[in-house]
Amino acid sequence: MTPIIELHQIRKSYGEGTPVVTEVLHGIELCIHEGEFAALTGPSGSGKSTLLNLIGLLEKPTSGQLLVAGRDTAGLDDVAITALRGRSIGFIFQFHHLLPGFTALENVMMPSILDLGWPTDPAREKAMQLLDQVGLKDAAHKRPSQLSGGMQQRVAVARALSLSPRLILADEPTGNLDTHSANDIFELLQSVNQTQKSACLIVTHDPALAARCGRQIQIVDGQLLSAAPASAEAAPPGAIPVA
């Protein structure tokens, strides 16, 4: 299968140019393939957030090679990085970060508006389809304050899908929800993964949730300890086994 993200000997340090340099990622080797559904786990301070930021092109590695859909990101300027990130990667966070002054529909349209520079009828139509997909078509014109926490997170999922990304990065997407809402969001991500073949990488502290993913990637002290598939029973249909 096609690699969506490739990391080769990735290192990340902070404090470059100062007397105190701290390396937090040490020679990371990782590939995430099309259609994969994976969990990234590890204790606090292990490097999960830093690794996620690098994969999401929010930060640049200190050294090593990072490819997105086969394209080497080294040497790309900020404009090119922003365009590549916007069109290839969708983000879902523990806190939905919806814009309170806009409706659910307008929030879902926002990535398209930022990409094109203005709202379009096709973007509006797609946003409505996505809200329908996440079960919120009737809430399209409500503002975030009028929605429950689980509903707001569903809007965030729809927003992440607005530009049909090849990779969805979800940082503790269920950590702020009750058990029922958390399960709904997880099953929604599984459904998107299976129907649209978008790769999905979920950062989680929840071992039960991680066990339901097709692959578990464990990081400790800035190094990957394992990137093994979960049990065959736990893996969702269409999950890609690790080579």
186-199 per-position pLDDT tens digit = 888 888 888 888 89
Residue 222's CB is within 10 A of a number of other CB atoms, namely 20
Strands 215-220 and 37-41: parallel
Tokens at residue 128, please? 């409505």
pLDDT at 229: 54
Backbone angles phi, psi at 44, to 5 degrees: -60, 135
User: DSSP 3-state helix, strand, coil percentages of the chain (rounded to 5)?
Assistant: 35, 25, 40
pLDDT at 228: 56
Size of the chain in residues: 243
33-91 per-position pLDDT tens digit = 988 999 999 888 888 989 999 999 999 999 999 999 888 999 889 989 988 888 889 88
- The mean pLDDT of the chain is 85
0.85 cut: is pTM over it? Answer: no
Q: Which residue has the higher pLDDT, 220 or 237?
A: 220
Check if the beta carbon of residue 56 is closer than 8 Å to that of residue 169: yes
**Which residues of the chain form beta strands (DSSP E)?**
3-14, 22-33, 37-41, 63-68, 71-72, 89-93, 167-171, 199-203, 215-220, 223-229
Check if the beta carbon of residue 155 is closer than 8 Å to that of residue 121: no
Kindly list the strands in the beta sheet with 22-33, ordered across the sheet, starting from the edge strand earlier in the chain.
22-33, 3-14, 63-68, 71-72
84-138 per-position pLDDT tens digit = 888 889 888 877 789 999 999 999 998 888 877 777 888 899 899 889 888 889 9
Tokens at residue 157, please? 């999922």
Q: Is the pLDDT of residue 243 over 70?
A: no
151-179 per-position pLDDT tens digit = 898 898 889 888 888 899 988 887 777 88
Q: Set out the domains of the chain in order of their start, with CATH numbers.
A: 35-60+76-229 (3.40.50.300)
pLDDT at 240: 34
pLDDT at 232: 38
pLDDT at 227: 57
